[in-house]
Amino acid sequence: MWRLVPPKLGRLSRSLKLAALGSLLVLMVLHSPSLLASWQRNELADRRFLQLNKCPACFGTSWCRRFLNGQVAFEAWGRLRLLDFLNVKNVYFGQYGEPREGGRRRVVLKRLGSQRELAQLDQSICKRATGRPRCDLLQAMPKTEFARLNGDVRLLTPDAVEGWSDLVHCPSQRLLDRLVRRYAETKDSGSFLLRNLKDSERMQLLLTLAFNPEPLVLQSFPSDEGWPFAKYLGACGRMVAVNYVGEELWSYFNAPWEKRVDLAWQLMEIAEQLTNNDFEFALYLLDVSFDNFAVGPRDGKVIIVDAENVLVADKKLIRQNKPENWDVWYESKFDDCDKEACLSFSKEILCSRATVDHNYYAICQNLLSRHATWRGTSGGLLHDPPGEIAKDGRLEALLDECAHPKKRFGRFQAAKELREYLAQLSNNGR
């Protein structure tokens, strides 16, 4: 059994939880009229709750009709605004129903940042436009860098947005054309030309790119084309809707061995796909933890559900420009830090090398091997293998070499062999 808190802190933790629950019940009684109102009202049909009034300092409007028509609603406890102080990440679960289709499906609703981060965004926009911390965002946005591409500007170019976020830390023109062509928050998507976007849509695009580019990752590398990301549905104001995938990977930490082996194989396949693909874009995962992946309840498919910190390097451009040491294989350095989900990397190197093992390293170190730690546990997803596999020692050796290689470039070979071995163990090699 894996214990999430030390034995001596168990009773204290339970006491704190009971105290918090008692305080919450008192608050619920004191606020019972507003509590009942928030339970009965569908706030996702409220323009102010969606912060639609802040557009174009928002993430889009493509799903506003669905929100405002009441087709999207919070699930159960998500209706209680009293509980929002516990929801630091501003991630909600909801139900969406299309009248013509019948039935409802689960969706995940995101504000793409905490209340504090969103307030800081508003202040920064206002200060840049007016010099004051508060202002009318509708009037302020055209006076910021988010309006630099308004008017007759033809293309979104690297010099305009380079370094704004991980997605565009080192953008190529090919990547930016892809972002614009697949931008879902416009009726005229399909063209890489900015002139087909309204000024308000251009500002929304740039703000999303700078604040949290996750929607653009999901749109540009969609699940419909086989990419391992959650499906983007749409946005209204500062609320983004994505498809609900399933329980987070963490909930499978103590699943039966056969299930964990299959999940581990899928994770290594994801690392391979994001590193080597026909499109010659390397998508490097800079934040890898058990919470950032989910598993489909029916098909058992592993999907990335948090894509904020994804760096995209254009390998075709690297081979074309040939920066210094571009063709020297890069092996990521093992990071034995005291914190959970640590990774060591250089964005500059990820952007300038054609052959990089970062994704294998991130998956092995933070999810699969004995070096993986999360929520007070250790041992990784493949902890406690069956006796015959533990005695054989091959799995442990491959995991160790993949996470903390002893040979030069040993991780590349270990990752290849580990994928093959896990496929064999999970019968995915047939």
269: domain CATH number? 1.10.510
Longest CA–CA span in the chain (Å) reads 69
List Cβ neighbours of 180 (8 Å cut-off, separation of 6 or more). 155, 156, 191, 192, 193, 194, 197, 205
**Of residues 284, 299, 263, the one with CA closest to residue 383:** 263
User: Does residue 4 register a pLDDT over 70?
Assistant: no
User: Does residue 13 register a pLDDT over 50?
Assistant: no
pLDDT for 171: 98
How far, CA to CA in Å, does 79 sit from each of 22, 43, 44, 75, 212?
20, 8, 9, 7, 25
Would 288 be classed as within a structural domain? yes
Q: Considering only 96-105, 270-279, 289-298, 402-411, which range has the smallest mean pLDDT?
A: 96-105
pLDDT for 267: 98
**Of residues 107, 79, 78, the one with CA closest to residue 95:** 107
Would 228 be classed as within a structural domain? no
- DSSP for 302-370, please give it: EEE---SSEEEEEHHHHHHH--TTTTS-B-PPP---SSTT-----HHHHHH-SSB-HHHHHHIIIIIST
DSSP 263: H
pLDDT for 6: 34
Determine the residue type at 304.
I
CB 70 within 8 A of CB 236: no
**Of residues 314, 355, 363, 309, the one with CA closest to residue 331:** 355
Query: What's the whole-model pTM score?
Result: 0.89
Would 338 be classed as within a structural domain? yes
Domain range holding 418? Answer: 247-429
Alpha helices in 162-276 (DSSP H): 173-181, 199-211, 214-220, 257-275
User: Does residue 36 register a pLDDT over 80?
Assistant: no
How far, CA to CA in Å, does 245 sit from each of 281, 296, 359?
24, 5, 22
At residue 430, the 3 state secondary structure works out as coil
Determine the residue type at 123.
Q
pLDDT (average), residues 322-328: 96
List Cβ neighbours of 366 (8 Å cut-off, separation of 6 or more). 288, 289, 341, 342, 343, 372, 374
User: Does residue 319 register a pLDDT over 60?
Assistant: yes
Q: E strands within 21-133?
A: 72-74, 91-96, 105-110
pLDDT (average), residues 40-65: 93
Q: Considering only 27-36, 195-204, 295-304, which range has the smallest mean pLDDT?
A: 27-36
pLDDT for 239: 97
Would 405 be classed as within a structural domain? yes
Residue-wise pLDDT tens digits, 255-310: 999 999 999 999 999 999 999 999 999 999 999 999 999 999 999 999 999 999 99
pLDDT for 399: 96
Would 417 be classed as within a structural domain? yes
Q: What are phi and psi of 372, to 5 degrees?
A: -70, 130
Would 136 be classed as within a structural domain? no
Q: How many CA atoms lie within 13 A of 105 on its CB side?
A: 12
pLDDT for 7: 32
User: Does residue 85 register a pLDDT over 90?
Assistant: no
User: Does residue 330 register a pLDDT over 90?
Assistant: yes
Confidence of residue 119 (pLDDT cuts 50, 70, 90): very high
**Of residues 166, 206, 210, 171, the one with CA closest to residue 185:** 206
pLDDT for 374: 86
User: Does residue 77 register a pLDDT over 80?
Assistant: no
User: Does residue 81 register a pLDDT over 70?
Assistant: no
pLDDT (average), residues 197-212: 96
**Of residues 322, 249, 262, the one with CA closest to residue 288:** 249
Q: How far apart are CA 143 and CA 232, in angstroms?
A: 30
Confidence of residue 181 (pLDDT cuts 50, 70, 90): very high
pLDDT for 14: 47
Q: Which two tokens stand for residue 414?
A: 């270990």
134 by Cβ neighbours in 10 Å (0-12 / 13-18 / 19+) ranks as exposed
pLDDT (average), residues 184-201: 89
Residue-wise pLDDT tens digits, 16-25: 455 555 555 5
User: Does residue 38 register a pLDDT over 60?
Assistant: no
Q: How many CA atoms lie within 13 A of 299 on its CB side?
A: 6
Would 12 be classed as within a structural domain? no
Confidence of residue 84 (pLDDT cuts 50, 70, 90): low
Ranges 7-21, 371-385, 411-425, most confident: 411-425
Q: Are strands 91-96 and 105-110 parallel, antiparallel or unpaired?
A: antiparallel
Residues comprising the chain, all counted: 430
User: Does residue 26 register a pLDDT over 90?
Assistant: no
pLDDT for 236: 98
pLDDT for 2: 30
Looking at every residue in the chain, the average pLDDT score rounds to 89
Would 374 be classed as within a structural domain? yes
Residue-wise pLDDT tens digits, 332-386: 988 777 777 788 899 999 999 999 999 999 999 999 999 888 888 889 999 999 9
- Overall domain count for the chain: 1
Confidence of residue 427 (pLDDT cuts 50, 70, 90): confident
**What percentage of the chain carries pLDDT values higher than 70?**
87
pLDDT for 377: 84
User: Does residue 211 register a pLDDT over 70?
Assistant: yes
Q: How many CA atoms lie within 13 A of 114 on its CB side?
A: 8
Confidence of residue 104 (pLDDT cuts 50, 70, 90): confident
